Amino acid sequence: MQGSGYNVTLKELADKLELENCTPDLDIDHVKITQTEVNRPALQLAGYFDYFDSSRIQIIGHVEHTYMQKIGIERSVEVMERIMCGSEESPKPPCIIYCREIWIEDEIVELANKYNVPLLRSRKATSPFMAELIRWLNTELAPRCSVHGVLVDIYGEGVLIMGESGIGKSEVALELIHRGHRLVSDDVVEIKRVSDSSLIGSAPDITRHFIELRGIGIIDAKTLFGVESVKDEQEINLVIKLEEYDKETVLSYEKEVLGIYLSGHPLDRYRNMMEKMISARTIDFQPSDEDDREGGEPDESKVRDNQKVIIGGMITEKNVKYTKTNKVMAFLTVEDLVGTVEVMVFPRDYEKWQNMINEDARVFIQGRVSAEDDKASKLILEKVRPFSDIPRELWIQFESKDDYSQKEKGLLEDLRNSQGTDTVVIYLKDVKAMKKLSAAYHVNLQDEWLAQMSKKYGEGNIRVVERALKTL
């Protein structure tokens, strides 16, 4: 991993690895290290300099030092000079590090001062030192980026929590810390790629150990929960993205927990279609009030016994029963925007429509009213039609024929990308003319695709029209 664009100073390296500076007259504060690789100049000591990368840190271990003693000080100085001097094509090494506290000859020190190449010394053995050095360089010089999220340590596993602002990432992190897990970073996570399979996350210095909570402010997790609640860095093992529940899921949870819908109704999006299709609402099946019973005018909206009506709604409950002849029938609870009604499905009709009358299905039901005094009326099912089967038209408006001609090619391509059964109608505003496209350009009116069309052709130019049916 070379040339990441990042660097560390030789002073930082020396402090981190506890290295002794054997050339104190040289300034190591401003020596930049940009390479993660290091080199043991074995072949170079023997005089072979082809493919020698002098920009790397050079390591002298016990083997190299023993060889230099064998060839003599004069030859050693000659070879080390060639290593230190550099050239236009090959820069000088940032430093030379001796391991095992090896004694450095005065001639080598003088040479290092001459060519301004710092000499450092470590107490550690060569192999362990090189491993530690490479690991540290890989971390410090790794390619990196910053992402919006929260990084926590959960049972030793680094979990990066991502999601849109305000979705609750910090609140989740706070709860995890409260349960004994550890915070690494909140809001901004700096990620380093230290290897092809390893990502290390940490916090910027300015936000380390802090959590920002909406409505509360910034809290210091280290002060509040103790030093064991925070961690400076952590390998990322798992990424979790928090997403908002879709509207229908939220509504189902509201109903399950509270027994009522708070933020809307699952049928709100179908309101216009239902108003065109239905001939009765569930409230019309309820018994008349006291005024009606005492001789007042009956409510014209109330259904009558044996009346044929069409209702629309969502099946919220389905109870299957067996008759004495072992045939299957069902009792359904259908909910619309104002209430519920019981629907009876006799065996012959159940066999015909059973695939369409499952729980949560959005359907129109045509049937015959079964009314009882002082009790809610019921509906006997005769026909069923899902909301998705109701004929719909997509109207696309253009200012003029010329406007349509300019956009026609792109429009037809957009229509081919959403093949379905819904008709497409082109409307020219200036001449008030309309044209239905052939079945080859029928579309599937999904919300996501409609949103894309509205963005491209203008929200006011895209309209979905449901065609009312007198019978199912």
324 and 210 co-located in one domain:
no
Q: What is the mean pLDDT of residues 3-17?
A: 85
Burial of 47 (0-12, 13-18, 19+ CB in 10 A): exposed
**Which pLDDT does position 259 carry in this prediction?**
83
- Spatial separation of the C-alpha atoms in residues 46 and 79, rounded to whole Å: 8
- Domain annotation covers residue 380: yes
**Which pLDDT does position 77 carry in this prediction?**
92
- Domain annotation covers residue 58: yes
333 and 300 co-located in one domain:
yes
133 and 14 co-located in one domain:
yes
Domain's final residue, options 80, 108, 140: 140
Q: Would you place residue 3 in the very low, low, confident or very high pLDDT band (cuts 50, 70, 90)?
A: very low
195 and 231 co-located in one domain:
yes
Q: 167-171, 297-301, 321-325, 347-351: which range is least confident on average?
A: 297-301
Q: What is the CATH number of the domain that holds 130?
A: 3.40.1390.20
C-alpha count within 13 angstroms, C-beta hemisphere, residue 386 = 11
Residue 166 has pLDDT above 60, yes or no: yes
Q: What pTM, to 2 d.p., does this model score?
A: 0.60
**Which pLDDT does position 289 carry in this prediction?**
64
Q: What is the mean pLDDT of residues 404-421?
A: 92
- Domain annotation covers residue 61: yes
**Which pLDDT does position 299 carry in this prediction?**
54
280 and 374 co-located in one domain:
yes
297 and 366 co-located in one domain:
yes
C-alpha count within 13 angstroms, C-beta hemisphere, residue 120 = 26
Q: Would you place residue 1 in the very low, low, confident or very high pLDDT band (cuts 50, 70, 90)?
A: very low
111 and 158 co-located in one domain:
no
Question: Tokens 């016990």 correspond to what residue?
Answer: 62
pLDDT (tens digit, 9 = 90+) per residue, 42-77? 898 888 888 888 889 999 999 999 999 999 999 999
Residue 403 has pLDDT above 60, yes or no: yes
- Domain annotation covers residue 63: yes
What does the mean pLDDT of the chain come to?
90
DSSP helix/strand/coil, 367 = strand
129 and 26 co-located in one domain:
yes
DSSP helix/strand/coil, 67 = helix
- Spatial separation of the C-alpha atoms in residues 33 and 293, rounded to whole Å: 95
**Which pLDDT does position 2 carry in this prediction?**
47
Q: Would you place residue 296 in the very low, low, confident or very high pLDDT band (cuts 50, 70, 90)?
A: low
- Domain annotation covers residue 55: yes
- Domain annotation covers residue 1: no
Residue 199 has pLDDT above 70, yes or no: yes
Residue 220 has pLDDT above 60, yes or no: yes
- Spatial separation of the C-alpha atoms in residues 142 and 138, rounded to whole Å: 5
Count of domains forming the chain: 4
- Domain annotation covers residue 260: no
57 and 72 co-located in one domain:
yes
- Domain annotation covers residue 250: no
Domain's final residue, options 388, 415, 441: 388
Q: Angle between the 10-17 and 126-140 helix axes, to the nearest 10 degrees?
A: 130
276 and 368 co-located in one domain:
yes
> Which domain does 170 fall in, by range?
144-242
105 and 136 co-located in one domain:
yes
DSSP string, 95-134: -EEE-TTPPPPHHHHHHHHHHT--EEE-SS-HHHHHHHHH
Domain's final residue, options 369, 388, 407: 388
108 and 14 co-located in one domain:
yes
Q: Would you place residue 292 in the very low, low, confident or very high pLDDT band (cuts 50, 70, 90)?
A: low
